[in-house]
Amino acid sequence: YANAFGWMDPQVQNLTKEIFKKFREKKLSLYYIFADSVKTKGKDLLKNFLGDYRFLPKKYPMHAATDIFGDYIATFTNLPWVSVKNVTIYVLKDSRLAYSYRAWFGFMFSHCKK
């Protein structure tokens, strides 16, 4: 889930490129649910996006982002548009919680429009 493109910040672009490269090499898929505002504000950034994505309806704005990977859930707050400056990150490690987050994400993803 995301309302911003923090991973496009020049400070972390090399890391982002490396992560995306590893995803391609391992043939792993990325899935995102973006805030509706990303449709217009991030139109150019979405052209080169690696992965499949959907949008939440306008009536559900977001002010944070969440990544789910393995047994981990990372939640980002204070995430500016294309920056990682002053971001607060909470990381949880719990396999059952990560599984539940993925289930919730899957439900939302299947009900959101591209």
**Under 8 Å between Cβ of 12 and 6:** yes
- For 16, other C-beta atoms within 10 Å of its C-beta total 15
More confident residue, 113 or 80: 113
- φ, ψ at 108 (rounded to 5°): -65, -45
**DSSP3 helix / strand / coil % (the chain, rounded to 5):** 35, 25, 40
**Under 8 Å between Cβ of 76 and 92:** no
Q: What are the tens digits of pLDDT across the range 25-81?
A: 999 888 999 888 888 877 777 877 778 999 999 999 887 889 999 999 999 887 766
Q: Give residue 1's pLDDT.
A: 56
pTM for the model stands at 0.80
State the distance between the two ends of the chain, measured CA to CA, in whole angstroms. Answer: 14
Q: What are the tens digits of pLDDT across the range 82-112?
A: 666 778 889 999 999 999 999 999 999 999 9
